[in-house]
Structure 1
């Protein structure tokens, strides 16, 4: 019922729209292949107006991939790509003027729960001279992707939750930010001198395996922002257990890393101290952020583990989201209090990362109020007065 109502509303709105050009065209609703014809027509509308930012976000509930086999299929026939020789050189001058002008104007392209192949993605990359940002999220048909050559203008690339992806190769480009899943796909990064942000989704051990095999130590040393996201809602397993193996990895020096973000599920009362070897490999680190997804957190009465001594000379900001009041969280705070020499601020938010996925979940629910109480009891007596403590 809601899908049909949304489709009628969009179609009616577009009929009334008389503009000749569009800066942005964005569809955000959990539509699927049963709306194929309507979405095709909407895309034709945007293309005809030389849109610069095109977003097609069809995720289920705004966050999760569509059920297998139900994704909307990108209409290659409407873009002159159904009979295109993808091995040929760029052929913008052979396209109709309407498509030619669209490809020239396009700057941002986002597809979520849209099925398209690596060849189609590469066509956009190599034939859109102004394209700077590309996101492909939850495509079931993306298998291989190559982004190669200095002529590519792309600066931001996100390849998320593409379960069929086998390989991702990026060479000789000026890419600045890469976000990708590293659960099964082979990642190859060669000569990417401008890359300073890497956001990796997967099991912690798989991410490190991919980092150590597909990325040179020279490239790792140039990263300024690194995010590891082991999201249980996607992988369906308890990724936090992978933390116990992180201490066994010899992490290359992350000499330029300024910010490290870790996304994990809060499961029982597992310690986080096994991830500190990544922190200690980054001598210039200024900010550490931990985001917790509440799965089955439990407060225990165990004693805090004794933290290792490893001075962190530049770390100034500690952010903890989803703080529950477990011993594991307290001992992590103690680790930073004892080692972060110039620590200035600790930000604590008891709202867990996954709450935005739960429709109607109030911010001030009982579990959140209890977590905030524990945060105040534990931290207000631990944090010295010269460090700013903010508990949201």
Structure 2
């Protein structure tokens, strides 16, 4: 059964042919109707123009302009990188550009809250004019993601540099959130936004090849959420932001310094920088000790030496998430030493990415018990049910004396092509069978739970 969309609801309520007395929505003020339409997709909002003369231009004042790639069928783009595939991409790109230009030309509203451009574009597209449009409309949330599709996999590259000629517009003072992905962001542009956007709270830069040294500081800085990821030439980050709450960095090992971050409570580090944190924990302990949430990406095969068996105590940490990129050959139990360092931990999430064959997984030695009195929720994402996972799960079940819920998500997450336990490539039917088997392993693990502990299998 097809579920009605929000636009269908509006059309139904405003259809006077059945019962005019039921048309309550049309009695609302224009401002309220525009707010409602702004919650729809652009296409849905535009369809309401056929309702009546009053509705004809209401959609042109919507405050959310989300030109996301998900609005298009990209199946043709993801095919082999053939002449036909390139031609399909060119057609879809042309349609996307026409769609954006048409909507912007029709827009009559004085301001916009959100403006998103997410598509594979080339230097023939007039992106500068789109940004200028958003600036002139006092945009509050701006996202630019110029993802690039090649063949079967999405490859990241940057050809577009954020235009410096757009800087200096007074309208940038309305900006509260900025995301720039697959865009060349110079240090001049980066520093400009930090210095000239007094209400900027969220700043995200992903896949930018122009950043080398970043300094996040300023007396009027209101930044609360910062993400810097996959910037290949980056060498250093220095942060002094008294309001910063959350920080994410995913990339190579660089020099990183936190000087004044009293409100920082959430941090996420990807590989390989997380290795630097693990092996230099004491060096970063000053600000790590204040965290409430810590998320790390780790890989057992990266540790030629033993994983540190002991860490300084993190008294404030309540939520710990580990992404484990593993080949299935090494134990997960050493990573439990991080849990041991968090006496007041409330929730723990282990997300596993498996690859290659699991048949050579060796048996694991037991680890010493360490009661976790505050741990209430444990979640396994990508659960397969192989020995390394079962051992880690049993450790948590036996030591989390107050455990209330264990959540198991058996969706397989693997690097490269999915393989079975014997190393053979999985077909679609085998993949479904493997997931069913993973669910069965999860149910068997549920029999080991203490009374009162709830098992949730997603």
Q: TM-score, normalised by structure 2?
A: 0.72
Among 272, 286, 289, the alignment partner of 2:332 is 272
C-alpha distance after superposition, 1:349-371 (max 9, x if no partner): 1113569x99xx89983332232
Question: Which residue number in structure 2 is paired with residue 198 of structure 1?
Answer: 267
1:158 is the counterpart of 2:227: yes
Question: Which residue number in structure 1 is paired with residue 358 of structure 2?
Answer: 298
Question: Which residue number in structure 2 is paired with residue 223 of structure 1?
Answer: 291
| Aligned equivalents of 1:149, 1:117: Cα separation in 2 | 18
- The change in CA–CA distance for 1:376 and 1:345 in structure 2 (over 3 A counts) is same
Question: Which residue number in structure 2 is paired with residue 375 of structure 1?
Answer: 442
C-alpha distance after superposition, 1:209-268 (max 9, x if no partner): 46544x3x23211100000024xxxxxxxx331357463365222110000011122413
| Equivalent residues, number | 355
Cα deviation for residue 183 of structure 1 reads 2.3
| Aligned equivalents of 1:178, 1:288: Cα separation in 2 | 19
Among 138, 161, 164, the alignment partner of 1:76 is 164
Among 90, 109, 114, the alignment partner of 1:19 is 109
5+ unaligned residues in a row in structure 1: which ranges? Answer: 80-94, 231-238
| Aligned equivalents of 2:394, 2:380: Cα separation in 1 | 13
C-alpha distance after superposition, 1:262-283 (max 9, x if no partner): 1122413421111111111111
- The change in CA–CA distance for 1:210 and 1:175 in structure 2 (over 3 A counts) is farther
Among 351, 357, 375, the alignment partner of 2:411 is 351
Among 442, 451, 455, the alignment partner of 1:385 is 451
C-alpha distance after superposition, 1:115-162 (max 9, x if no partner): 112231111011100000000011111111101234211000000111
> CA RMSD, aligned part only?
2.6
Among 373, 388, 392, the alignment partner of 1:328 is 388
CA contact (8 A) 1:243 1:275 kept: no
1:251 is the counterpart of 2:311: yes
1:125 is the counterpart of 2:194: yes
Among 240, 253, 266, the alignment partner of 1:171 is 240
- The change in CA–CA distance for 1:10 and 1:245 in structure 2 (over 3 A counts) is farther
C-alpha distance after superposition, 1:175-230 (max 9, x if no partner): 110101252221101121000001111134223246544x3x23211100000024
Question: Which residue number in structure 2 is paired with residue 88 of structure 1?
Answer: none
1:317 is the counterpart of 2:387: no
Among 34, 51, 55, the alignment partner of 2:139 is 51
Among 188, 199, 206, the alignment partner of 1:137 is 206
SS in 2 for 1:352: coil
**Which structure has the higher relative contact order (CA within 8 Å, separation 6+)?**
1
- The change in CA–CA distance for 1:344 and 1:36 in structure 2 (over 3 A counts) is farther
- The change in CA–CA distance for 1:67 and 1:24 in structure 2 (over 3 A counts) is closer
- The change in CA–CA distance for 1:36 and 1:289 in structure 2 (over 3 A counts) is farther
SS in 1 for 2:205: strand
- The change in CA–CA distance for 1:118 and 1:250 in structure 2 (over 3 A counts) is farther
| Aligned equivalents of 1:166, 1:41: Cα separation in 2 | 32
1:261 is the counterpart of 2:329: no
**1:226-241 superposed matches below 5 A:** 226-230=294-298, 239-241=299-301
C-alpha distance after superposition, 1:41-87 (max 9, x if no partner): 2111111101000011223469x87444x4321111232xxxxxxxx
Cα deviation for residue 295 of structure 1 reads 2.6
Question: Which residue number in structure 2 is paired with residue 116 of structure 1?
Answer: 185
Any runs of at least 4 consecutive aligned residues in structure 1 with deviations exceeding 6 A, and if so which?
361-364
- The change in CA–CA distance for 1:267 and 1:52 in structure 2 (over 3 A counts) is same
5+ unaligned residues in a row in structure 2: which ranges? Answer: 1-89, 419-427
| Aligned equivalents of 1:272, 1:57: Cα separation in 2 | 36
- The change in CA–CA distance for 1:293 and 1:193 in structure 2 (over 3 A counts) is same
Q: TM-score, normalised by structure 1?
A: 0.83
- The change in CA–CA distance for 1:14 and 1:354 in structure 2 (over 3 A counts) is farther
SS in 2 for 1:205: helix
Cα deviation for residue 372 of structure 1 reads 1.8
